Amino acid sequence: MLTHKEMLLAVFFFALAVHTLDQRAAHADDKVPATIGQIERLDPALDQLVPADAKIEVLATDLDWSEGPVWVKEGGYLLFSDIPPGLIYRWKEGEGIKEWLKPSGYTGETPRGGEQGSNGLALNADGQLIICQHGDRRLAQLDAPLSAPAPKFITLADKYDGKRFNSPNDLAIHSSGAIYFTDPPYGMVKGFDDPSREMTYLGVFRRDLDGKVTLLTDQLSAPNGIAFSPDEKTLYVAQSDPNAPIWMAFDVQDDGTISNGRVLLDGTELLKKSKGLPDGLKCDKQGNLFATGPGGVLVISPEGKHLGTISTGERISNCAFGDDGKTLYMTSDMYLCRIRLSTTGVGF
């Protein structure tokens, strides 16, 4: 027969078990997502973009290093990379997260280390998935319908001037069909010091529809996230160099080249108090940047003013507009998150 103390302990542990199961069930229910983080408001202009009652919702957890989100309008779901395991996941309201494509970034037969998976993802005008593949060191197109993916890829670009890329990282597709992309060495086994590097610089490139690849600039020390302004007259490039954490703006010329590079925002002081480096970014229809960097997603005006920061408390690698264009999805280390906005992303 149990003593009074033993009975109390049994009741306590039973209640704890029930509470844990309830918490797991609530967490698994997409209708009641957990909320985390905070919104730092630095300028009244942010109130027109991010509602006062906006919450950061957690949609998925236990990821390794989530990246490269893209919204698929046909089907109403989000695709995103998880780089270390070489996966692309799919998330959809009411269904949650599921493994969608593997391998996503490395198709070689020889095992390798490093960040081998896919990174940046985008859809071209025909709805085909374009992938920055770290492991294969190329820009590729998934050679399968989005409704029935298979790990078969078409190489769009893997070399410039006869030399292999480092590891294409992020991309932005121009209305002409040209693909602008960055090529830092983060996907290489030894990063900047990898002996298999064939280029002495880290470039920003353009791949035209006819397959021609053009070097746009080799003057950035760690080019990363990339996006166009709504009118495509400006190209933004994030530089994830801890010694020069900046966001650059370039004028886009009629021939597709870029000029007049200038610093839009310098994140040096932000980095002293917050973790994270300039990474992925997207624009809304008003030309504001939602740029991941120190502290979270920085909201930056077209003039380069820091209006505020959406912070999950963890490093945020990238973001993408989805749903009706007013939801910002964020890949934040081990999390996939979202927040509802008052502004609408480009493309919606």
CB 291 within 8 A of CB 317: no
pLDDT category of residue 200 using cuts at 50, 70 and 90: very high
Minimal CA–CA distance to 258: which of 250, 270, 267, 266? 250
In three-state secondary structure terms, 169 is coil
User: How many Cβ atoms are within 10 Å of 27's Cβ, its own excluded?
Assistant: 13
In this prediction, residues 268-288 reach a mean pLDDT of 98
Whether the predicted pLDDT of 7 surpasses 60: no
Return the residue matching tokens 């086994």: 189
Q: What value does the mean pLDDT of the chain take?
A: 91
DSSP bridge partners of 235:
228, 250
pLDDT band at 16 (very low <50, low <70, confident <90, very high): very low
Distance from the Cα of residue 235 to its chain's centroid: 17
Indicate whether 33 pLDDT > 60.
yes
In this predicted structure, what is the pLDDT of residue 172? Answer: 98
User: How many Cβ atoms from other residues are within 10 Å of residue 77's Cβ?
Assistant: 17
Indicate if the pLDDT at residue 82 is higher than 70.
yes
Going by the DSSP 8-state scheme, the letter that residue 44 receives in this structure is G
Per-residue pLDDT at 31:
56
Q: To the nearest whole percent, how much of the chain has pLDDT over 90?
A: 87
Q: Are strands 118-123 and 296-300 parallel, antiparallel or unpaired?
A: unpaired
pLDDT one-digit tens code per residue, 223-269: 999 999 999 999 999 999 999 999 999 999 999 999 999 999 999 99
Distance of CA 324 to the CA centre of its chain: 19
pLDDT at 21: 34
Query: What digits encode the pLDDT tens for the residues 104-162?
Result: 999 999 999 889 999 999 999 999 999 999 999 999 999 988 877 777 999 999 999 99
pLDDT in tens, 299-336: 999 999 999 999 999 999 999 999 999 999 999 999 99
Looking at residue 145, its pLDDT comes to: 81
Domain regions of the chain by residue span: 64-299
SS3 assignment for 300-311: ECCCCCEEEEEE
* Opening angle at CA 212, ends 224 and 206, nearest 5: 20
- Is the pTM of the predicted complex or chain greater than 0.85? yes
CATH architecture of 64-299: 6 Propeller (2.120)
| Alpha helix ranges (H) inside the chain | 4-28, 268-271
Q: How confident is the model at residue 1 (pLDDT cuts 50, 70, 90)?
A: very low
Distances (CA, A) of 34 to 53, 156, 229, 295, 307: 15, 40, 33, 20, 26
Average pLDDT over residues 264-293: 98
